[in-house]
Amino acid sequence: MAKSEKPAKVDKTKKVTAEKPAAKAEEPLPKLNPEKSKSPTVVAPARGPWLGLGVGGTILGLAMIGGGIPLVVIDGQPSCGHSNCTEVWDTAKEGGPLIGLGAVSLVASGVFYYMDYRTRKANLPHAMVLPLSGGAMLSLGGQF
């Protein structure tokens, strides 16, 4: 600063206000009702693939049996539509295995359903959060 320059005067009467950013249109958060939130939140254990395999096996077994039965029923019947036809259907060798494999698939589905039942009923590790008036309680459980 040179000797001839005087310090600038500061006007203390002006009010300085910062510009507020434009408010975003946000929805307000829902208010929690403490009476309704008293029930514990239970985290369900993960399920295995057994239920999906059981459903898939059931569908496959029913489809195979549904296709095999008509093949066994029409075996030996005339293929041309009248009774003195020399050509007959020979479909038992395809229908029989379809029925047998369909039955095996249904039995396997029963095993898968049982495995799913055992998985759901087993004492697997679990977690539970219980809201309290001054915070929350976390409970972990399991068996080894």
Contact 99, 68 (CB under 8 A): yes
Find the mean pLDDT for residues 10-32. 62
Kindly tell me if the per-residue pLDDT of 117 is higher than 60.
yes
Cβ(112)–Cβ(82) below 8 Å: no
Q: Which has more pLDDT, 135 or 37?
A: 135
- Do 87 and 78 contact (CB within 8 A), yes or no? yes
The pTM of the full predicted model, rounded to 2 decimals, is: 0.54
Residue 19's pLDDT is 62
Mean pLDDT of the 113-133 span: 81
Q: pLDDT for 54-100, tens place per residue?
A: 999 999 999 999 999 999 999 988 888 777 788 888 999 999 999 99
pLDDT of residue 113: 93
Q: Are 76 and 88 in contact (CB under 8 A)?
A: yes
Residue whose entry in the numeric block shows the structure tokens 């500061």: 10
Identity of residue 10: V
Average of per-residue pLDDT across 114-119: 87
Q: What is the pLDDT averaged over residues 94-110?
A: 96
Closest alpha carbon to 64 in 18, 13, 101, 34: 101
Indicate the domain borders of the chain.
46-121
Between 92-121 and 50-73, two packed helices, what is the crossing angle to 10 degrees? 160
